[in-house]
Chains A and B, each alone.
Chain A
Amino acid sequence: TQLLEQSPQFLSIQEGENLTVYCNSSSVFSSLQWYRQEPGEGPVLLVTVVTGGEVKKLKRLTFQFGDARKDSSLHITAAQPGDTGLYLCAGDFTGGFKTIFGAGTRLFVKA
């Protein structure tokens, strides 16, 4: 069974702080995505990473894919209240049709 574990489950920080959330699996991903979800809405795709060691930046968000393609991290610099939401990592595995989601990290940024 392919499982994704995300940590921490919940994070509450002050505006302006930096944070990192993690996604780990015992299996190798063929590709990995990060999504952000707000209450009552569907997840919105932030980034897709494919190559081991790959780093992608999206404004204040930095995504890193592990060299072995089994883990990933999302770093947010100078968090803002608008960053509040559920951050989901999701992975595709070789030979599979479907994307497997982690349980997410719920981030709350206080003004």
Chain B
Amino acid sequence: DTGVSQNPRHKITKRGQNVTFRCDPISEHNRLYWYRQTLGQGPEFLTYFQNEAQLEKSRLLSDRFSAERPKGSFSTLEIQRTEQGDSAMYLCASTLSGADGYTFGSGTRLTVV
């Protein structure tokens, strides 16, 4: 078990470009979460998958954000037409049962210039 893997670790992009991040959860975990964290803040919920179904999406997530989890394995998070305010650490976490806590990946740090 290699834990939760996120790629890339860092991404610098120009405003207006599209970016896609990937998360590979722990294989037996059926729940997968995306969070966003800005400097000085705790992680902020973005979206949640149970297997391949996206069951909840934050109201903070604009239409420019989309996430998928085909076949209930890895997940991707895409941001279209990036804005400077999208600059943050994007964290992926997985769990078998949410009450047991999450295993987080190392995150993808996005910088929009």
Residues of A within 8 A of B (CB): 4, 30-31, 33, 35, 40-45, 48, 50, 88, 90, 92, 97-104
Main secondary structure of the interface of A (DSSP, over half): strand
Number of A-B contacts (CB under 8 A): 62
Q: What are 11 A-B pairs with beta-carbon distances under 8 A?
A: A31-B99, A33-B102, A35-B101, A40-B107, A42-B4, A90-B42, A98-B48, A98-B56, A101-B35, A102-B42, A104-B42
Residues of B within 8 A of A (CB): 4, 33, 35, 40-45, 48, 50, 55-56, 91, 93, 98-107, 109
Q: Tell me, in angstroms, the Cα distance from A44 to B33 when the chains sit together.
A: 15
B42–A97 CB distance below 8 A: no
- 19 new A-B contacts, CB < 8 A, other than A97-B48, A99-B45, A101-B44, are A31-B99, A35-B104, A40-B107, A41-B106, A42-B91, A42-B104, A43-B43, A43-B104, A48-B99, A48-B100, A88-B43, A90-B42, A97-B55, A98-B33, A98-B98, A99-B33, A100-B45, A103-B40, A104-B41
Residues of B within 8 A of A90 (CB): 42, 101
A101–B43 CB distance below 8 A: yes
B101–A48 CB distance below 8 A: yes
Given A42-B91, A43-B43, A103-B42, answer yes or no on A97-B105 (Cβ-Cβ < 8 Å): no
Q: Tell me, in angstroms, the Cα distance from A85 to B42 when the chains sit together.
A: 13
Q: Tell me, in angstroms, the Cα distance from A109 to B102 when the chains sit together.
A: 26
Residues of B within 8 A of A99 (CB): 33, 45, 98, 102
Q: Tell me, in angstroms, the Cα distance from A101 to B45 when the chains sit together.
A: 8
